Amino acid sequence: MNITQLLDAMWKDYIELNPKALEIYKLFSADNQKVQNDHVAFRTFNHPKVNIDKFASVFTKLGYIKKDNYSFEQKKLNAFHYEHTDPTLPKIFVSELLLEEFSSSLQSTVNSLLENLSVDDISKDNFCISGRHWDLSYKTYNQLKKESEYAAWLSAYGFRVNHFTVFVNALTKFSDLQELNTFIKYHGHILNDSGGEIKGSAQALLEQSSTVAYNQNVQFSDGIYEIPACYYEFAKRYESAPGVLFQGFIAKSADKIFESTNKGQ
C-alpha cells in the first residue's frame, strides 16, 4: 500500500463513520475549491502493543517523520505529530491514553480488550483503520466513559480515524475561519463551542474549529446504541517567520477539540 492508497482508505472509512464530513466536503468542492487536508488524527493506548510508535510505524515506513510532542495533563494523554516530506500531504496526529494514570478497573478492561489483538493484526498496513478487534458491552462502554470519554470512544470504535481536518488557508472562498464557521452553520451543521467556536488565535499561529461528532449506531454485545463517532475539523495557520507557516499544534486548543466527541448530533 502506498501513502495515497492509505489516505484514500482512511477517508473512505472516515466518511462512513461521519457522513456529515462528506456533505461539508461537497459544499466546499461545489464552489470549485480544492480541499486540502491539514491533518488526520488518531487515538490509541500507550499499551506496548499499540503505543504511538507502534501505531505510527506504517506512517514512518511511508515517509512520515516524527515531530513535536504534546502533553494533555487533564485528559491524561500524550501525543506526537508526524510530517511527510511532501508538504501537500496531511500531517498525522496520534495521541495515546496514559493507562497507568487510571483506575485498575479501567486498566484491566483495556488490557483484556487488547489481548484480542494478534501481532499479525498490528503489522498490517491498514491497522490504523482496522476498527474494533473485540466484543464490548454497552455497560462496559459507559463504565469506561465515567473515567475517560477517550477510553470509551476508542473501545467502542477501535482503530479508526478520529477526525480529518481541512486546511483553511488552501480554500479560496473564506478570508478567515469565522467566515467558514458561518457558512457551515448556515448549511445546518453544528460546531463544538466548548471553549468558544474558535480555539487558538493568530498570535498563537493556529486557529481551529470543529463540528460536533456525528452520532452512529454501534453494535454492542448487549444491543445497538447510538453514540458519538467522528467530527470534522478546520485549521487556519499563520506564519511563524516570513513565508514560513507554523506546522505544530497548540495543546490548550487541542484539549478543547478533543471534547468534540463528548456529545454527538
Task: Report in angstroms how near the CB of residue 41 gets to Ni ion at its nearest.
Answer: 5
CB of 257 to Ni ion, least distance (A): 6
Answer for the pair 43, 156: CB distance below 8 angstroms, yes or no.
no
* Shorter beta-carbon distance to Ni ion: residue 233 or 255: 233
CA dist 3 and 25 (Å) reads 21
Question: What is the nearest approach in angstroms of Ni ion to the Cβ of residue 163?
Answer: 6
**Where along the sequence are the contacts to Ni ion (CB under 5 A)?**
41, 165, 233
Helix (H) or strand (E) segment spanning residue 208: strand 206-210
Determine the angle formed by the axes of helices 104-114 and 138-147, rounding to 10 degrees.
130
* First CA to last CA distance, the chain: 34
Whichever of 99 and 254 has its CB closer to Ni ion, that residue is 254
Closest approach, Cβ 127 to Ni ion, in A, equals 20
Distance (Å, whole) CA 82 – CA 93: 6
Q: What are phi and psi of 230, to 5 degrees?
A: -120, 160
Q: Which of 231, 172, 171, 152 is nearest to 197 (CA)?
A: 231
* Cell, residue 167: 486546511
Show the cell assigned to 78.
Answer: 500524550
By beta-carbon proximity to Ni ion, the closer residue of 164 and 174 is 164
Q: Which of 236, 248, 209, 200 is nearest to 69 (CA)?
A: 248
Report, in Å, the least distance between residue 190 CB and Ni ion: 17
Q: In this complex, which beta carbon is closest to Ni ion, that of residue 83 or of residue 114?
A: 83
Cβ 27 to Ni ion shortest distance, Å: 20
CB 184 within 8 Å of CB 55: no
Burial class (CB in 10 A: 0-12, 13-18, 19+), 133: middle
Nearer Cβ to Ni ion (50/94): 94
Closest contact distance (angstroms) between CB of 91 and Ni ion is: 9
> If you search the block for the grid coordinates 470512544, which residue do you land on?
153
171, amino acid identity: L
Q: Which is nearer to Ni ion, 42 or 141 (CB)?
A: 42
Q: Indicate the residue among 141 and 258 with the shorter CB distance to Ni ion.
A: 258
